[in-house]
Structure 1
Amino acid sequence: MDIKNYLLKKRSGKTVLRLFLATNFVYIMMLAVTIPKVASYADGLKILDMMPTGYDLVYVKQLFDALGTEGRNSYLFCQLPLDMIYPFLFGLNYCLLLAYFLRKLNKFQGLLMYCCWLPVFAAIADYAENIGILNLLLTYPHISKTAVITTNMFTLLKSASSTIYFILLMTVLIWWGLRILFYRTRFR
């Protein structure tokens, strides 16, 4: 089955809503529990997952030194395992969410249909980032500049594709909202 037929088949708003709730439950758990736990060891430094504009070798060493053994273990055994679930949910959920609203607008064709791939691309970049962070944590204190550059590249790709996606999603939601508003006022 090709992706267009799959996305067209997943018409149910209930399916999209359930997946949205599951995705955002995991995200809230990361924001409220695992990220603050790791950050509590970081002396005010941001963890790599929370740096959308990137980082360099000096910053990574500074962060990992500040985290200490407990903080690095918290990153490795608390944050990263949850962040290995989240990209799958993110990619699938936000792909289906955009497809759902594009279908509502009768615009699920051409270039807009392919925009549904943006969250999948962001999810792949997030997995690559997570694997890079895992590698950096496991090789600490012998962190290679190449590993940091590669991991940072995936962080930047994740951030850019997510930002573009959310701008597109907001545009589609506004378009959908205006369309509903227009039809309600027109047919009163």
Structure 2
Amino acid sequence: MTNSFLSKHIGTIAVGSGLIAASIYVLMVNVTLAHIEAVSGQIPFDMRPSGYGPIEAEALLDALGVDGRGYYLSHQIALDTIYPAMLALTMVAAICWLGRYTPNRKLFRFCVAFSAVGALFDYIENLGIVAMIWSWPEVSVPLVYAASSATIIKSVSTTLAVMLVLLMGLNWVRLSKADLHP
């Protein structure tokens, strides 16, 4: 793809990947994560932005049982393999599109970095969850803390990226209104 193609179609890429990411997110929250919570009576790892410790991890994994742990792997992790990439693509495309109207290149770079870090640590979180499920009932404490740390970093980075995109969007709206009413 050439830069002119991307420049012309970046908004379409942002909307298209955003619709895919939003659809997957709604499916995860309303189906897979809801099922995991219903089966276990516990909040899934993915939905604990402040992390968890070994006692909470053991309680969730135990409460899930064999079928619930299998469901986590086959349904939730499967969807969460696509979601981080789609969210990052959405964020970066939106940032590139809105970044054309933002004179602050540092804000642009931070936004891209937070999006990439959020996706990277979402994948690390997923690997940690898979490793905990596979090693059950012998889950190591360092593994739990590593997966929990990835969850926290993912949550913080993604939140910052979303906030920065929203700020860039508000800046674009402000500049658009200023252009209409000189």
TM-score using structure 1 length? 0.88
Q: Which position in structure 2 is the counterpart of 1:26?
A: 24
CA change 1:168–1:7 in 2 (3 A) is farther
Distance 1:20 1:32, change over 3 A: same
Match status 1:46 vs 2:43 = yes
1:63 aligned partner: 60
> CA shift at 1:6, angstroms?
5.7
Change (3 A) 1:111 1:133: same
- Give the match for residue 15 of structure 1: 13
Kept after mapping to 2: 8 A contact 1:10/1:96: no
- Residues 1:135 and 2:131 aligned together: yes
Q: CA RMSD in A?
A: 2.0
Secondary structure of the residue aligned to 1:40 is helix
Task: Name 1:175's counterpart in structure 2.
Answer: 171
Q: 1:81 aligns with which of 78, 82, 95?
A: 78
- Percent identity (aligned): 26
More helix, by proportion? 2
The runs of at least 4 aligned residues of structure 1 exceeding 6 Å deviation read none
What is the DSSP-based 3-state SS (H/G/I as helix, E as strand, rest coil) of the residue aligned with 2:40?
Answer: coil
For normalisation by structure 2, the TM-score amounts to: 0.91
1:41-86 Cα shifts (integer Å, max 9, x gaps): 121x210000000000000001111111221111111100110111
Find the partner of 1:146 among 104, 126, 142: 142
Corresponding residue SS for 1:129? helix
Count of residues in correspondence between the two structures: 180
Q: Is the 8 A contact 2:13 2:93 kept in 1?
A: no
2:52 partner SS: coil
SS of the residue corresponding to residue 39 of structure 2 reads coil
Give the Cα–Cα distance (whole angstroms) in 1 for the partners of residues 7 and 30 of structure 2. 31
Report the residue type matching 2:141 in the other structure: K
